[in-house]
Amino acid sequence: MELNLIADSVVKGRIYPALAQHQARPYTQAWREFGLYFPYTIPLRLQEYCDYHDVKINIHHMRKGLPDNTFYPVGLSFFDFGIDYFTLLPAEVFTAVYERKIRVLFYYHEGDNPARIKQRLDQLAAQVRLPTDCYVFVSANSAARNIPGFVYFNDFELWYYQRNLGQVPLPVHSETREREFTVLNRLHKSWRATAMADLKRTGVLDNSYWSYCETGELDNSNPIEIDVIPGLREATAKFLAQAPYTSDEFDQSKRNDHSVTISKYHTNAYCNIVMETHWDADQSSGAFLTEKTFKPIKHGQLFFVAGPAGSLQALRDLGYKTFDHVLDNMYDRIENNTQRWSRLCSAIQQARHRLADRFETARADIEHNQQLFVEHKTQRLNSLIKDIHEQYN
């Protein structure tokens, strides 16, 4: 498959971020900072992936003849509902979009509710008399599958693949591991504080590698109904009062360096309780997975995913094994946020019984996951381009 893109300019082989007002050159620190400046468009992650995995991107300029299925790519660091992206288009690009010669391709690696994004983009398009099919939007929220003009793509699988490229997968050894679980948190979120407080008071963290590296307060963003579970509000308040909790000597910047792998977190603990970015992905009923989930996949652990309902199913759809024969994964099907957390807690407690035996029983699936992760992603990218073309047509 091939993808035809329009670039305002190309610098050192990289498409310059569309609509950007910040100035920088590739392979510099400033190139990584576009997301800090209006309108928060960033270098196209998709180009990086395609270049590495041998998928062809054809780069065109507006003043030359354009083939069918050509897009003007806009990489987003976050979707700002206050920005009118269409009025920021260069005049000749806007005209070509208006005349249906090209479409805008939004590429977004985050998990915001795609239905709300579509509503806003359609509103903006109508204001400038563009057709509502003037764009295709790639989203990392699985709910995008069900929205016209949208395509779902799990960006962070490839993002972590690239960022951790220098680290070979850690061995899936048969020696005794000293810890039961790895449960790591870098940033404070109310739902994470609630979850960690619950795991702490029930003893799950007693023999685990775990962290909660920021202080914070409870707020109304917590999707877990904290007062439904007896004693949990008090436990959470106590947990936060004593935060932060660290398990290494790194600072926050180093902990956010995904080229670094701390081996003990994977080789000396049987199971990873992944504390994902969202417990409820913006009320979308979709799943959103980040590098947090792909770390134990690459480096050889069992795992639970503390995240939106359907997270495990999203992994199965990618071909990964989720150890359904050794772990109780029914929690992943429960849409009610509080009930899902309670069921996950029960599953974790159940897994503690003969955890080493469960690991050995799942060894083949753990090794399958490692192998699948390190394979080239050409097929993934070809499928994405096919889906983009289908939305275009």
Question: What's the average model confidence in pLDDT over 18-46?
Answer: 96
CB-count exposure of residue 48 (10 Å: 0-12, 13-18, 19+): middle
Torsion of CA 158, 27, 250, 40, to 10 degrees: -70
Strand-pairing partners, residue 3, are 57
What's the pLDDT band for 249 if we cut at 50, 70, 90?
confident
Residue 64 above 80 pLDDT?
no
Mean pLDDT of 311-324: 98
| CA distances (Å), origin 42, targets 22, 46, 381 | 10, 11, 20
pLDDT at 24: 95
Q: Is the dihedral of CA 158, 279, 202, 211 positive or negative?
A: positive
Question: Would you say residue 369 has pLDDT above 80?
Answer: yes
- Do β-strands 179-183 and 150-152 pair in parallel, antiparallel, or remain unpaired? unpaired
- Reported as a single tens digit per residue, the pLDDT across 98-120 is 999 999 999 999 999 999 999 99
**Looking at the predicted structure, is the pLDDT value of residue 298 above 80?**
yes
Cis peptide before 73 (omega within 30 of 0): no
The string of pLDDT tens digits covering residues 188-242 is 999 999 999 999 999 999 999 999 999 999 998 999 999 999 999 999 999 999 9
Q: Which domains does the chain have, with CATH numbers?
A: 2-153 (no CATH), 163-374 (3.40.50)
Helix (H) or strand (E) holding 179: strand 179-183
Q: Give the model confidence (pLDDT) of 140-153 as tens digits.
A: 999 999 999 999 99
Question: Looking at this protein, which amino acid is placed at residue 33?
Answer: E
Average predicted confidence (pLDDT) for the chain: 96
Classify residue 320 as exposed, middle or buried by CB count within 10 Å of its CB (0-12, 13-18, 19+).
buried
With contact defined as beta carbons under 8 Å apart, do 147 and 115 qualify?
yes
Residue 246, pLDDT above cutoff 90: yes
What is the structure's pLDDT at 351? 98
Neighbours of 80 (CB within 10 A): 13
What percent of the chain is predicted at pLDDT more than 70? 100
Please check the confidence at residue 63 and state whether its pLDDT lies above 80: no
Q: What are phi and psi of 333, to 5 degrees?
A: -95, -5
Of 135, 71, 77, the closest CA to residue 108 belongs to 77
Span 171-178, average pLDDT: 97
pLDDT > 90? residue 386: yes
As a whole number of angstroms, the distance between CA 71 and CA 388 comes to 10
